[in-house]
Structure formats: structure tokens, C-alpha cells
Structure 1
């Protein structure tokens, strides 16, 4: 069983190493897809991800795991694959234009560091037009972000970057984890759940 891991915005493949190690311990072969939002455009990156998945899996069984923007990239890439994954695991992926992305998209430094992809995350029409994968999905949202009138999210549950409501994809159930956005992939529960869900 292959596991394709895609990191989030502003991170590198190194952020997925702990999860990859735990999945290898569960008997999976892991592949880390790296990209740079600052230097790559959306469509070429999606096409490169498709080629990466096809080359690494060679028609064999596989699952996909995406953190934040990584989950968004996977949603765009999956429809073009010849073979579908047996499971999709999305860790704190925005399912709509998040308040955080909309706010930051107005700052020149954010635009410089995140390029076209960062701007697309702030567009409601783009985010809500992404295809919903027709595969078994497991979606996680963090809940340890600050809450209160002085915060961006008010009293809504959030992980510091996106709210639980912004992660919600249609009526699909969410798994809530007491963790922050930037470290949700390191939750032991995520690796344990994948190992339980994926049959040898």
C-alpha cells in the first residue's frame, strides 16, 4: 500500500516526516510530494502532482494524505488520475475561502510568499468550485486555536488558521482533534486511524 503525502502552504515535505514514519511502521510505502507556492503556479503544480502519484503508485493500491493546501491540491488532482485512491485523508483543509486567507491576501508580503496559490485560497468561487472526491474520505479539523471577541474567529472552534466551519465539506463528518493547524499531521490519532482504516 502506497501513501502519498502532500504538505501545506508555507511548509515543506519535512513537516510530514513524522506521519510518514508512523505510516511506514504500519507497513505502508510513503511518498512525499514537495512544492513551492511562491514559485509554482496552480495548474502546473496540480499536473505535476498527478504525474507524481501515477509514477509512484504504478497502478498499485494507494491512499492520499493532504495537509491544508495539500488537501486542496489533491482535490484538484484526483479527477485526472487513471486509478483512484482507496482513501483520502485531509488534515485541516479549507473547503471555502477562509477568513485568514482573505485577510492576508491583501498584504503584499503574503502575495510574495504564497504566489498564485495563496490568492486562490482567498477566492470563494474557486474554493467552492473544487471537485469533491468520489472516494472514502476522512477529514480532520483542529480545535485548539484561540477564541473570544478579540480573535478572528470569535467563539467558533478553530485551529488558529481555519475554523471548523471552514473545514466542513458538505455534510461529511469531521473528526475533531485538540491540536493546532501547523501540527495536526503529528497527531498520533491520525496515523492510528489510517492504519485501522487501510486494509493490508
Structure 2
């Protein structure tokens, strides 16, 4: 089985390397897709992503694991794929325009580094137009962010960037994990769950999504 791994905004494929190594140890071959939000258009990146998946996955069984903006790209590419993944795993996915995107999207320097790709996260119409995945999918939301009187999130569970309620999709199961947004892909709990579900989807193991 293969795994397509796609990182989040401002990161590089190396950010998914610990997850990739753990998947490889479990018998799942990782393939890392990279992009740069400041230099690439949205449509061009989605097209490259589609071609990358078709080339690396071929006709065999595969899964997709995305982090943050990588999950948004995955939701955009899924309807284009003739050969669908067995399952998708979304780590800290922004599923609507979140509080952080609204804040940073108004700042000039931040908008520059977000590029045309990252700025889709500030568009209500774009975010609501993305299709809900039509393959088995699971969301992992971090809850290690600050809470309380001095937190910008108040008492809402969050990962330091997204609140849990900003990661939800209709009828998609969600699991909270004690992780921050930037490092949720390094959670051993997340990897173990991905492996368990991936093996079940291909008939190798047992368990439930």
C-alpha cells in the first residue's frame, strides 16, 4: 500500500518525515508532495497534485494523509481522481474560514507569505464550496493549545491555531489528540490509528473507522 503525504502552509515535505518513517515501518510506502504557497497558483498546484497522485499511486491501494492546507488541497483534488484512495486522514484541517485566517489575512506581510494559495483560507465562498470527501475519512484535531482567560480562544479546545470546531465536516468522525497544530503529524497516536484504519480498508487488519 502507498500513502500520499501532503504538508501544510509554510512547511516542506520534510515536515511529514517522522510520520512517513513510521508508516514505512508498518509496511506503507510514503510519497511526499511539496508546494510553495508564495510562488504557485491554486489551480496549478491542484493539477500537479492530481498528476503526482496518479503517478505515484498507480492502480494499487493507497491512502492520503494531509496536514492543514494540505487537507484543503486534498478536498479540491478528490473529485478529479478516477482511482480514489482507500481512505483520507486529515490532520488539523481548516474546514471553514477560521479566526486565525481572518486575523492574518488582513495583514499585508502575512498576505504576501500566504500567497494566492494560502489566501483561499480567508474566503468564505471558497471554503464552503469545497466538497466533503466521498471516501472514508477521519479528522484529527489537536487540543494542546492555550485555554483560559488570556487565551485568544477562550475556553474553546484548540491546537494553538485552530479551534476544534473549525476542523469539523458533516458526518466525518473526529478524534482529538494532545498536540499542537504545527506538530500534530508527529503524534504516535495519530500514526497508529492511521495504520489500523488503512489496514482495515484494504482487508489486512481489523478495526473501525
TM-score by length of 2: 0.93
1:6 corresponds in structure 2 to 6
Does structure 2 retain, via aligned residues, the 8 Å contact 1:64–1:88? Answer: yes
Does structure 2 retain, via aligned residues, the 8 Å contact 1:99–1:152? Answer: no
Is it true that 1:164 corresponds to 2:149 in the alignment? no
Give 4+ residue runs of structure 1 displaced > 3 Å after superposition: none
Determine the C-alpha separation between the residues in 2 that align with 1:76 and 1:171: 18
2:207 corresponds in structure 1 to none
Residue segments in structure 1 that go unaligned for 5+ positions in a row? none
Does structure 1 retain, via aligned residues, the 8 Å contact 2:137–2:173? Answer: no
Does structure 2 retain, via aligned residues, the 8 Å contact 1:101–1:118? Answer: no
Alpha carbons of structure 1 residues 89 and 119: separation in structure 2 relative to 1, 3 Å: same
Paired residue total: 200
**Map 1:19-34 → 2, pairs under 5 A:** 19-34=19-34
Determine the C-alpha separation between the residues in 2 that align with 1:194 and 1:150: 34
Determine the C-alpha separation between the residues in 1 that align with 2:123 and 2:153: 18
Shift of residue 161 of structure 1?
0.6
Does structure 2 retain, via aligned residues, the 8 Å contact 1:63–1:87? Answer: yes
**Map 1:10-159 → 2, pairs under 5 A:** 10-159=10-159
Residue segments in structure 2 that go unaligned for 5+ positions in a row? 205-209
Does structure 2 retain, via aligned residues, the 8 Å contact 1:63–1:85? Answer: yes
Shift of residue 62 of structure 1?
0.5
CA RMSD of superposed structures (Å): 0.9
Does structure 2 retain, via aligned residues, the 8 Å contact 1:110–1:118? Answer: no
